[in-house]
Amino acid sequence: MGIERDNYDDINRLIDLSPNSTPNAGSPLLRAFEHRELTQTPDFERLRQNILSQNQPIKIETFRSKKFYTPIAVAASTLVAIGVVYLLRQYPTTNKSATVVIASSASLHNRELHYSQALGVRVKSATNFSESVVGNRLQIKAQTLSAEFNFHPNAVLSKVEIFLPDVVFEVIGTKFILHCNEGHSFLAVDEGVVKIIASGKSHLVPSGAFWANEAGKEKMGMYGVGGQTLFKDFSQSDFQPHSVIEKIIQSKQIPTLQSGKVSITLKSGSVLRGTLVSQDESSVKIRAAATGGQVLRFNREEIARIRHLR
């Protein structure tokens, strides 16, 4: 009955009449009659009934269509959604630039991690491993860690800090190996430079050199052939670095880094040799024989590689 009442209201608006009134003088049908477009006064009640009788089959058909097709459409949508979920599980998408998130209690073994297309880490073993991103800086924390790092800064990730119980490593851009457990820390640098903060002191370790701390006793020097073996074999899953590291640390010949001979390869392709005078996070100074003993200063951004000579 409510539907029929609504239809009456719609029809009344169409012919410009109220439900219980006589025809309005402004009705389009009456104006047509006055202009002889109609031969007699319209029978409005009959007009209402005709419109209702023609509209009712349309409504019935619409209702049947909804009753029949709506469940089919819902079922089809459900099947499509289930299929999408299944495909996503079978073929998960990855975001190469996204930072890997690992629980702070994680223990890792022979894993490779990648961060923002700037840092690759080959983890041989780690305990209590976690990381967080602060701006464009990645902070890694671990209780113990044995891993090889290959870091090339970009706009997304420009610096890496590695926190262990007794030492902090600040990385600007380099390739190096860390082997740290309780009371023992070891760093070997293949490319670039790494800053170490331990026992209230800081050190810069350049390429070709190592730093070790055993029970509070620090050693620095050139890693030589033992270091080359370490970098060559570290990626092998069954390689145990401890014995090689012990040989490097126990080597009797440990050149003094501050007075060592170095070869500097610039990004432009030029190679210069001389005696290392000093270095910090931003620059390196050498005394070059080719310039008559003049001290030359190079910004870290200019240098592709520093190699220590025997």
- Looking at residue 3, its pLDDT comes to 46
Q: What is the pLDDT of residue 36?
A: 45
- pTM beyond 0.85: the answer is no
pLDDT tens, residue order, the chain (310 aa):
444 455 555 555 555 544 444 555 555 555 544 544 445 555 656 656 665 565 555 455 555 555 555 666 666 666 666 554 454 444 433 344 444 444 455 788 899 999 988 999 999 999 999 999 888 899 999 999 999 999 988 889 988 999 999 899 998 768 999 999 888 999 999 888 888 998 888 888 888 889 999 888 888 888 888 888 999 999 998 899 999 999 998 876 454 444 467 888 898 888 888 888 777 667 788 888 777 778 888 888 888 888 777 6
Measured between alpha carbons, how far is 114 from 278 in angstroms, rounded to an integer?
A: 33
